[in-house]
Amino acid sequence: FLEAPKVIMVMITAWPSILSYKSSLCRSIHVVSNLKAKGKIFYLLSNYLHWDEEPPGNIYNMITSTLKSFLEDSSLRFLENSWYGYDLCPATWNYIFSLDLLCAQLGWTWTITNIIRY
């Protein structure tokens, strides 16, 4: 996704509060956007997402904190689903998508293939 920062810019222009949530997925999108954005797009994202007040942080720290939160979250559970039988709750998917995004940015294909998508 070479143009991902531009897509993020369009999203936050159309829906300003879309990345204001404190979920691990929103924080992960901030981290990856910060890594990928260059030049004018970086400047605009910094202003829109208030990175001067609250910087996105380090990708490795984000992976560590997401894994720690995932392991410590006692609200995670399986939900009955009429199509799939049992499914993971939305909070679990939030952690999984966050880790998938972060690990993909680092090229950790083994982690993605054997841990996240297994």
pLDDT on residue 2: 64
* Joined tokens for residue 107: 């090229």
Residue 87 DSSP SS3:
strand
Q: Which domain range does residue 108 map to? A: 4-116
Q: Specify the DSSP class assigned to residue 15.
A: S
pLDDT on residue 27: 92
User: What is the average per-residue pLDDT within 56-79?
Assistant: 93
**Mean of the per-residue pLDDT values of the chain:** 87
Question: Considering its fold, how many domains does the chain have in total?
Answer: 1
Question: Residue 48: pLDDT band by 50, 70, 90 thresholds?
Answer: confident
Q: Tell me whether residue 111 is exposed, middle or buried, using C-beta atoms within 10 angstroms of its C-beta: 0 to 12, 13 to 18, 19 or more.
A: middle
Is the overall model pTM greater than 0.85, yes or no? no
- Inform me whether the pLDDT recorded for 46 exceeds 60: yes
pLDDT on residue 82: 86
